[in-house]
Amino acid sequence: MASVSELARGEGLGRIQTILGEESSLLTHQSRTIPRDSLHLPGPDFVDRILIPSDRPPRVLGGLQRLFDTGRLARTGYVSILPVDQGIEHSAGASFAPNSENIVKLAIEGGCNAVASTLGVLGSVARRYAHRIPFIVKLNHNEFISYPNAFDQIRFASVKQAWDMGAAGVGATIYFGSEESKRQIQEVTAMFQQAHELGLFTVLWCYLRNAAFKTKDADYHLAADLSGQANHLGVTIEADIIKQKLPETNGGYTALNFGKTHKAVYSQLTTDNPIDLTRYQLASCYMGRAPLINSGGASSGEADLKEAVRTAVINKRAGGTGLISGRKAFQRPMKEGVGLLNAIQDVYLTKEITVA
């Protein structure tokens, strides 16, 4: 298995094929579900082509254009974002003991389009870095110091605080399907409205959270149909960018026997291929009018490089706009973290890798 230190070997598509190994068939899969021509796909003109007709204020469009014009992926229509808010959700020790270097510096050195983190982290370095790379301030978090642990996204920051520090955008999480989700939807809707009024773009972590979604047969938190519906709700409250976990299964509605869906979702609009499942997530984002970025997932050690490149290939070939990958890169020495971020970006820079 290729390691981060082996990134310098090989060029372009050949290197990516080597990293993928037995899963290199992902590079040749042809989707026959939702036609690519029916999607609003990424491109250097995405803001002009897709977002200009919307009700977004000019300053929001300007912030999104700055996002697309930053880093190694500048003017490609794709994004690579470094998020680190695990100091709240995983404890500071669990997050920063492996590497306590400046995460904003890693995002800049790694050629990212933006860095996303907490009010405290970004506020502590705002005067040094806010003009150099777009800041995305995460407004709510799931804190784990209360005992016993509860699972709820609560406000930690205000939109005004993000605006004051010079942030370009704000982010938030909704645990769709949870007991607290109705309150979270209302809170985030209000925060996103205020963000747009102040000229900040919005990123929504559209995660599912309900114990009933995980059965002995599958974890339907990662089902394409349920996560796609979460995406649809996120775009409905005018999230400018949707962040979602990569789907690993499907059929959540039918297996859990709730809600309403249509049999064509399973017979025509999806297959078991991860590219087709991710395309359904994208179609749920108003056919791509809101860009879909997938999360890089937790760090698992030596397999991180392959997992990150695999996720990027799936996202790009499905029609997605990029990755938001943090722990895999951050919990490494700076050089290795930069190498992993660059490997993700190389997928989007490789012209031979096209939308399926």
H or E segment and range at residue 208: strand 201-208
* Alpha carbons 171 and 281: distance in angstroms, whole number: 19
* Alpha carbons 82 and 243: distance in angstroms, whole number: 12
Residue 223 DSSP symbol: B
What number is the average pLDDT over the span 247-261?
96
The listed range with the strongest mean pLDDT (10-24, 255-269, 293-307) is: 255-269
Render pLDDT for 28-39 as a digit per residue (tens, 0 to 9): 999 999 999 999
What number is the average pLDDT over the span 125-131?
96
* Alpha carbons 334 and 217: distance in angstroms, whole number: 40
- Token pair, residue 57, equals 């204020």
What number is the average pLDDT over the span 245-258?
96
Closest to 220 measured CA to CA, from 249, 263, 244, 245: 249
Q: How far is CA 244 from the centre of its chain?
A: 6
Q: What percentage of the chain exceeds 70 in pLDDT? A: 93
Per-residue confidence (pLDDT) for residue 67, from 0 to 100: 98
* Alpha carbons 255 and 172: distance in angstroms, whole number: 29
* Residue showing tokens 């809600």: 259
Active site members = 243
Render pLDDT for 87-105 as a digit per residue (tens, 0 to 9): 677 677 666 655 545 889 9
Split at pLDDT 50, 70, 90, the class of 282 is: very high
3-state secondary structure of 244: strand
Render pLDDT for 174-225 as a digit per residue (tens, 0 to 9): 999 999 999 999 999 999 999 999 999 999 999 999 999 999 999 999 999 9
Question: Among positive and negative, which fits the CA dihedral 183, 186, 192, 197?
Answer: negative
pLDDT at 10 over 70: no
Length of the chain: 356
